[in-house]
Chain A
Amino acid sequence: MAAVIEVEHLTKQYGPKTAVDDVSFVVRPGSVTGFLGPNGAGKSTTMRMIMGLDRPTAGRATVNGQPYRTFRDPLRQVGALLEAKAVHQGRSAYNHLLALAATHGIPKSRVHEVIDMTGLESVAKKRVGGFSLGMGQRLGIAAALLGDPKTLILDEPVNGLDPDGVLWVRQLARRMAADGRTVFLSSHLMSEMAQTADRVVVLGRGKVLADAPIQEFVAGGAANGGGSRVVVRTPAPDQLFQAIGPNASITPREDGTFLVVGPDAVTVGNIAAQVGVPLHELTPVGASLEEAYMALTRDDVEYRSEGTR
C-alpha cells in the first residue's frame, strides 16, 4: 500500500468551538508536504486525529490505507513527533527509546542508531527533565525514526532547534522524501517551509485555505500582493520611473537599488530600452512564501498580537 495520508471531511469540535472544520486533503509519498497555519489554526489537532490520539467529531483519517489504530505494527507505518517532550521527565532518553522499541520488538541496535542519527549520544543516559527544548525535539524525532517508518509526521519539528538543527531537520525531511516516504510537517514559520516543502496545505481557523504545490501557492500570493517584483539598479532612476508610470510601486533600497512592484522584468527592460536608460541590474525576485501566506491568512489569525509589525 502506498504511503499516503488521506484526510476526509475531518471535523473536531470542543463544545461550541470547532477546532477543525470539514478538512480534506491528501499527502502523497516521495515529497515533503508542509502544513501551515497560524498558531491555533487546528494543525496539531488534525495531526493528533491522524495518529488516533483524538477522536474526530466527524470524518476520518487514514494512513497507508487504513486508520492508524488498526495497524499491528504502527511504529513501522508512521513515525510521529507530536510535541516536544512527550516523555516522562524522570526517565532517560535511552530508556524512553528502549521502552518504545520493546513494544514492537525493534532491535536494540536501532535504538543506538537513532540516538546517533539525532546527535543525542552525550545526553542519552540523562533524565529528560533536564533537556532543553532543542534536545527534547531531537529525542522526539529519534522516537519517530525508531520503526524506520514509511510515513513521517512532524509537528513543528524545528521549534527550539539551533540553526544546525534546523538544517538537519530540513535535510532529514528531504532525504526521507527522496527515499519515497511520505513526509508531513507542520510549521507556523513560512520561511522554513519555503526551503523544505514541495507542497503546502494551509489551515486557518480550522479550514483548508490552500492546498497546492509551493510555487503555485507563492505565485497565487504574488497575485494577491499586487504583481511581480523586480530589483533595478540604474544611474537615471527618475527618468526610468517616469517612463514606467504610476502603476508600479517603487521603493529605494539601502544598497542603492530600487524594488519595483507591478510590471515584470521584461516590461521594465523594454521600457528602459525605449527611453534609453542604462540598467546596471535587473533582477526578478519571487514573492516570498511569507507574503503569500500573510495575504492568505490575514483574516484567519485567531490570536493576533497588536503592534508586532
Chain B
Amino acid sequence: MTATTMPDSVRLGFGRLLRSEWIKLRSIRSTWWCYAILVAVTVGLATLLGSAVGVPGPDDPTDALYGGFVSINTASVSLTALVVGVLGVLIITGEYGTGQVRSTFTADPRRTGVILAKATVLAVTTFVVSIVSTWIGVLLSAALQSAKGADIVIGDPSVFLPILGSSVYVTLLALLAYGIGLLLRSSAGGIAVTVGILLVLPIVLSGIGNIMAQQWVLDIAKFLPDSAGGQLYSYSYTGVQQDGVVLNGWGGFAVLAAEVMAVGALALTVARRRDV
C-alpha cells in the first residue's frame, strides 16, 4: 500500500513550518488581492504625486524639498496599513473560521512553532512586497521630480530612513493585526478592532483631548500604533516645536514594536491553551 517509505528525518522543524506557512500564504486568493492592492496603491500614489506636486524654489530650505519628497513616497502608508491590517487578521482568522486550525494544530500540537512561523512568513512577505513597491515608487517619483529641477539625494538619511521606516511600519501593523486576529479568532471582529485602533481611536482621543483641553489625553494618543508608528515614516523638520510628549522615529518604533510584542505574547499564550 505504501510505496513511499518515510525517511527517518520526517519530523517537525521550524524551517519546515516556515515552508508550510509559505505554501499556505501563497495558495489563498486574498493574499494576492491584498498584496496587489498594496503594490498598486504604493507605486500609483508615489507616481501620481511625483508628477503633480511642484518643486520648491532654490531659495527654500532643503527641508521643504526633502520633506516633500518623503511625503510623496509615504502618502500611501495610511491606506496600505489598512490593507495589510486586513491581511494580517484574515491569515489567522481564516484558519479558525474554516476549521483549518484543527489540521494545523494536529500537525504541530505544541502550536508555538506554527504560530511563530506564520507570523514570520507574514512579516517577511509584507516587508519585501512593501519595500520593493516603495522603492519602485521612489525611483519613479524621483525621476519625475528631477525632471522639474529638484535635486534630491535619496541616500541622505533624512530621506532614506523614513521611507525605509514606512515598510517597517506596515510590517509591524500586519503583525499587530495578526496578534489581534489570533486573539479574537473572528474575521469580522478582528478587522473591526484593527480598523478601530487605526482609524477610530485616534479621532476619539484627539477629540476628547482637544475639547477638554487636556494634554495628557493627547499624549496618550501619541502612543497609539497609528501615531507612534507614524514617527517611523515622518520627515524630521528642524525647529518644529510640539507640546507634551514627543516621540522621534526610534521612539515611535520602540513603542509600536513593544505593542506588537505585547499583543502577540498575549495572543500566543491564549492560543496555546485554548480548545479549538
Q: Identify A73's interface contact among B10, B20, B23, B100, CB under 8 A.
A: B10
A106 to B10, CA, bound (A): 6
**Do A74 and B27 contact each other (CB < 8 Å), given the known contacts A87-B99, A109-B4, A175-B1?**
no
Please tell me if the beta carbons of A53 and B11 are within 8 angstroms of each other in the complex: no
- B9 to A, closest residue via Cβ: A105
Q: How far is the CB of B226 from chain A (nearest CB, A)?
A: 30
Stretch at the interface among B107-115, B172-180, B230-238, B251-259: B107-115
Across the interface, name the chain A residue whose C-beta is closest to B105. A53
Q: Tell me the chain A residues, 94-110 only, with Cβ under 8 Å from chain B.
A: 95-96, 98-100, 102-107, 109-110
User: B13 and A82: CB pair below 8 A?
Assistant: no
By a CB distance below 8 angstroms, the chain B residues around A75 are 10, 106-107
Q: How many residue pairs between the two chains, A and B, have CB atoms under 8 Å in the bound complex?
A: 125
Given contacts A87-B99, A95-B27, A99-B27, contact A53 B106 (CB under 8 A): yes
Distance from A144 Cβ to chain B, minimum over Cβ atoms (Å): 9
Nearest chain-B residue to A129 (Cβ)? B98
Which B residues, 1 to 38, have Cβ-Cβ distances below 8 Å to chain A? 1-4, 6-7, 9-13, 16-17, 19-21, 23-24, 27-30
Closest to A53 in B: B276
User: For the complex, what is the distance from the CA of A80 to the CA of B27, rounded to whole Å?
Assistant: 23
Q: In the assembly, what is the distance between CA of A87 and CA of B21, in Å?
A: 14
CB-contact partner of A83 in B28, B30, B99, under 8 A: B99
Q: B83-126 CB contact bits vs A (8 Å, 1 = yes)?
A: 00000000000110011111101111110001000000000000
Let me know if A54 and B275 touch, CB within 8 A.
yes
From 246 to 276 in chain B, residues with beta carbon under 8 angstroms from any chain A beta carbon are 273, 275-276
Instruction: Tell me the nearest residue of chain B to A87, going by C-beta.
Output: B100
Say yes or no for A148: interface residue by CB 8 A criterion: yes
- Mark each residue of chain B from 183 to 199: 1 if its CB lies under 8 Å from any CB of chain A, else 0: 00000000000000000
A94 to chain B, nearest CB (A): 9
Among B6, B20, B95, B102, max chain A CB count under 10 A is at B6
Does residue A304 face the partner (Cβ distance < 8 Å to B)?
A: no
Contacts A54-B275, A69-B110, A107-B4 hold; do A86 and B23 have CB atoms under 8 A apart?
no
Evaluate contact between B11 and A72: CB separation under 8 angstroms.
Answer: yes
Interface residue count on the A side (C-beta < 8 Å): 45
| Chain A nearest CB, measured from B58 CB (Å) | 55
Q: Is the CB of A48 closer than 8 A to any CB of chain B?
A: yes
- A95 neighbours in B (Cβ, 8 Å): 23-24, 27
For residue A102, which residues in chain B have a CB less than 8 angstroms away from its CB?
A: 16-17, 19-20, 23
Q: In the complex, which residue of chain A has the Cβ closest to the Cβ of B10?
A: A104
Judged by a CB distance under 8 angstroms, whether A259 is at the interface is no
**Interface pair A104/B105, CB less than 8 Å apart:** no
**Complex: chain B residue closest to A102, CB-CB:** B20
Cβ-based interface call for A281 (8 A): no
Neighbouring A residues of B100 by C-beta, 8 Å: 86-88, 91
- Residue from the list A71, A76, A85 in contact with B98, Cβ < 8 A: A85
Residues B99 and A92 in contact, CB atoms below 8 Å apart = no
Mark interface residues in A109-136 (1 if CB within 8 Å of B CB, else 0).
1100100010000000000000000000
Cα–Cα, bound, A271→B150 (Å): 116
Which residue in chain B gives the minimum CB-CB distance to A98? B23
With an 8 A cutoff between CB atoms, is A263 at the interface? no
User: Which chain A residues lie closer than 8 Å to B110 at the CB level?
Assistant: 69
Assess the A104–B103 pair: CB atoms within 8 A.
no
Q: Are B6 and A74 in contact, with the CB atoms below 8 A? A: no
Q: How far is the CB of A120 from chain B (nearest CB, A)?
A: 15
In the complex, whether A233 has a CB less than 8 A from a CB of chain B is no
Q: Once the chains bind, are B94 and A105 in contact (CB under 8 Å)?
A: no
Smallest distance from the beta carbon of B57 to chain A beta carbons, Å? 53
Other-chain contact of A106, B3, B6, B30, B276 (Cβ < 8 Å) = B6
- A110 near B106 with CB under 8 A, answer no
Q: Are A91 and B103 in contact (CB under 8 A)?
A: no
B99 touches A51 (CB 8 A): no
Cβ–Cβ contact B106 & A80, under 8 A: yes
Of residues 53 through 87 on chain A, the ones whose CB sits less than 8 Å from some CB of chain B are: 53-55, 68-69, 71-76, 80, 82-83, 85-87
The 8 closest A-B pairs by CB, nearest first: A102-B20, A73-B11, A95-B27, A54-B275, A86-B99, A52-B109, A99-B23, A88-B100
CB<8 Å pairs between A and B, sample of 8: A74-B106, A76-B6, A87-B100, A90-B30, A95-B23, A98-B23, A100-B20, A109-B3
